[in-house]
Structure 1
Amino acid sequence: MKFAFFPALAVLLAACTTNLPGLAPPTVAEVEAERQGRLTRVDEIVAVRYQTTDDGVVLYAMGRTPRQGYFDPQLRLIERRGNTLVFEMLAQPPVEATSTGTARSRQIIAALHLRRSELVGVTAGTVVSKTNQMTVRGR
């Protein structure tokens, strides 16, 4: 009796892997498109700094969101103004309602590595939010 149970269980479990039309897991491209569509600028830039690396710099920005739960912070290049690279700070809003919380609890940090080849002629970096912007200059 025990042995007849296992083949039947195997057949049932094998059917679980069948992808019915419309029920297949999303592709990487579909997930990325949805994620990009939900990104929003943070409310405020709190701090900007950079750290030199062997092959360029890492630009760090701390931003404040309107409520807790924002995630996946990013810095996205939006333009080059002369010798300044201008980035916007974006983040994914939470899916469910969250509380406002304290200002400190709504801070998130994004970082972006820039290679030396991307920094030719660049002397400053500006990060913008919905309400303000901050600039850091190279030494």
Structure 2
Amino acid sequence: MLLRAVLLLSLTLSVAACGDNRLNPFNWFGNDREQRVRVDPDAAAGTPSDPRSLVSEITQLSVEQTTSGAILRATGVTPVQGYFDAELVLAEINNGAIVFEFRAAPPVGQPTPGLQTIVAGVDLTNGELAGIRSITVIGANNRRSVSRR
């Protein structure tokens, strides 16, 4: 019995040590992939109901599993400092894919020159993730995606 427990523990730790292994139970969603895009400037600028603009570029995307679902976290870059009220806004759910737009409000008054890194996240429940195979976050100049293995 003790030998069986030691073998099971060894096997679990061996699989967990393999970072990109499909057998790894801790590897829920894979590494993010970038795709360069150019979004229509009118769409990037926002709408009357949500005047926030798309973040210039998404630099990192991660999904962290929780007991009730997952936390989707995106990091982006803005062209000047002072952006605020960052949020991942649901854009669409279609055929096992969920798409978010990374939006933030531009600075009020005179912006400070220099790039700004901004982070936003959203809590997704197990019910919301049921049947979802990929998650994409869109910025003005690129998009990043993660997929289930």
Structure 1 length normalisation: TM-score?
A: 0.69
Deviation above 4 Å: which 4+ runs of structure 1?
Answer: none
Task: Give 1:36 shift.
Answer: 5.1
Aligned to 2:125: 115
Residues 1:87 and 1:116: Cα distance change in structure 2 (over 3 Å): same
What letter corresponds to residue 120 of structure 2 in structure 1? A
Aligned to 2:93: 80
Residues 1:117 and 1:71: Cα distance change in structure 2 (over 3 Å): same
Aligned-residue RMSD, C-alpha = 1.6
Partner residue of 1:52 out of 65, 74, 91? 65
Q: Please state if 1:63 is matched with 2:76.
A: yes
Distance 1:133 1:82 in 2: 18
Higher helix share: 1
Higher strand share: 2
Query: What are the within-5 Å matches in structure 2 for residues 1-139 of structure 1?
Result: 37-101=50-114, 103=115, 106-139=116-149
Distance 1:56 1:39 in 2: 27
Q: Size of the alignment, in residue pairs?
A: 102
What letter corresponds to residue 124 of structure 1 in structure 2? S
Question: Structure 1: any 5+ residue segments left out of the alignment?
Answer: 1-34
Distance 1:125 1:60 in 2: 11
What letter corresponds to residue 133 of structure 1 in structure 2? R
Structure 2 length normalisation: TM-score?
A: 0.64
